C-alpha cells in the first residue's frame, strides 16, 4: 500500500516543555505479598483491574505498531523524539503488566485463553486501513489518559489500592499522562480527520467495554466461592455511581468530540511532577542506572 506523503512542516507537538517522555523499566514483582483482592478488598473491583491488565500488553503493541507505521512521515523534530519515547514507554508498560498478569495467572485465572481471544479481536482491527488503526489508538490513548488523570488526581482511588499494587498503577498513570498527546499529534500530521477520530472513539469505547466486561466476568466465574451480591453492587456503584471512578470520566470523554480538541487542553503536568520523584523510589536496583530496553 502506498503511504500518503505529508508536506506539513510546522511544529505539531504540543507536549509542555516541562514534560519528558522517557521510558523507564521498573522491575515490579508480585507474589504472595499481594492480597487476592487488592483493590478496596473488593472481589469485582480487583477482577476488573486484573482484566484491564491482561488487555495491556497486546493492546500497547497495537498502539506501537500503529504509530511506528507513520514514523518516517513525521517532520517535526520534537514529535519524532516524542514518538521514540512513546514506543519505549509502551514497551516498558507491556513488560511490567506481563509480570502482573503472571501473578493473575498464578491465582488460577484463564489468562492465556483471554489473551488468545484478544489476539483474534486485534487481528480483525489490524485489517483496517492504517490510519483507522491510528484513530483507534488515539481513542484508546484518550481513555487511558482519562483514567490516568483520575488516578493521580483522586487520593481516594489510590488509597483503595493495596500498597503492593499501587506503585505499578501510579507509575503507569504518570507515563500515560506524559505521552497522552503523541498519537493524537501523529494522527493530525498524517491527515487524520475529525470524522475518523470521533467515530473510532465511539467504536473503541464499545469494543473496550465488551472486552473488559467479558474478561472480568470470566475471572469472576473462575472465582465463584467469593461471589457476593453485596460486594458486586458496592463495586458497581464505586465504578458507575455518583462520582464513580468511571462515571466521573464521562465529561472528559465527551471533550474528544470538540472540533478543536487537543489532549493538552487539560494541562495536568503538575500531577507528573507531584508523583514522579516518589515513584522513582520503586525502581528495582538493576534498573536504577538505566533501562534494559525491550522494544518489540
pLDDT of residue 291: 57
Domain holding 276, by residue range, is 43-283
**Mean local confidence (pLDDT), 254-263:** 97
pLDDT of residue 288: 87
- Nearest by Cα to 140 from 98, 213, 202, 54: 202
**Does 231 map to a domain?**
yes
pLDDT of residue 11: 65
pLDDT of residue 289: 79
CA 63, 68, 71, 73 torsion-angle sign: negative
Percent of residues, the chain, with pLDDT higher than 70: 94
Taking the C-alpha atoms of residue 296 and residue 292, their distance in angstroms, rounded to an integer, is 13
For residue 184, pLDDT beyond 80: yes
**Does 232 map to a domain?**
yes
For residue 218, pLDDT beyond 90: yes
pLDDT of residue 2: 45
**Does 109 map to a domain?**
yes
Q: Which residue has the higher pLDDT, 56 or 295?
A: 56
Domains in the chain, number: 1
**CA triplet 23, 27, 30: central angle to 5 degrees?**
135
**Does 103 map to a domain?**
yes
**Does 234 map to a domain?**
yes
Q: Kindly indicate the confidence band of residue 31, based on its pLDDT and cuts at 50, 70 and 90.
A: confident
Amino acid at each position: 500500500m502506498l503511504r500518503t506523503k505529508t508536506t506539513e512542516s510546522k511544529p505539531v507537538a504540543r507536549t509542555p516543555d516541562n514534560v519528558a517522555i522517557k521510558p523507564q523499566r521498573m522491575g515490579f514483582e508480585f507474589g504472595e505479598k499481594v492480597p487476592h483482592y487488592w483493590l478496596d478488598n473488593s472481589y469485582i473491583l480487583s477482577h476488573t483491574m486484573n482484566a484491564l491488565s491482561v488487555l495491556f500488553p497486546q493492546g500497547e503493541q497495537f498502539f506501537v505498531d500503529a504509530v511506528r507505521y507513520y514514523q518516517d512521515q513525521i517532520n517535526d523534530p520534537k514529535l519524532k523524539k516524542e514518538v521514540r519515547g512513546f514506543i519505549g514507554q509502551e514497551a516498558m508498560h507491556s513488560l511490567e503488566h506481563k509480570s502482573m498478569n503472571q501473578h493473575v495467572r498464578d491465582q488460577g485465572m484463564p489468562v492465556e485463553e483471554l489473551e488468545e481471544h484478544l489476539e483474534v479481536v486485534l487481528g480483525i482491527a489490524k485489517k483496517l486501513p492504517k490510519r483507522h488503526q491510528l484513530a483507534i489508538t488515539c481513542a484508546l490513548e484518550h481513555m487511558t489518559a482519562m483514567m490516568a488523570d483520575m488516578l493521580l488526581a483522586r487520593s481516594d482511588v489510590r488509597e483503595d489500592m493495596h500498597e503492593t499494587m499501587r506503585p505499578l498503577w501510579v507509575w503507569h498513570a504518570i507515563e500515560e499522562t506524559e505521552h497522552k498527546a503523541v498519537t493524537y499529534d501523529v494522527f493530525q500530521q498524517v491527515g487524520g480527520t475529525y470524522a475518523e477520530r470521533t467515530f473510532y472513539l465511539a467504536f473503541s469505547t464499545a469494543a473496550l467495554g465488551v472486552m473488559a466486561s467479558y474478561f472480568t466476568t470470566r475471572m469472576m466465574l473462575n472465582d465463584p466461592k467469593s461471589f457476593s451480591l453485596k460486594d458486586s453492587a458496592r463495586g458497581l456503584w464505586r465504578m458507575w455511581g455518583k462520582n464513580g471512578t468511571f462515571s466521573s470520566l464521562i465529561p472528559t470523554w465527551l471533550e474528544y468530540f470538540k472540533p478543536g480538541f487537543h489532549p493538552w487542553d487539560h494541562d495536568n503536568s503538575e500531577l507528573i511532577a507531584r508523583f514522579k520523584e516518589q515513584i522513582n523510589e520503586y525502581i528495582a536496583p538493576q534498573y536504577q542506572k538505566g533501562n534494559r530496553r525491550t522494544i518489540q
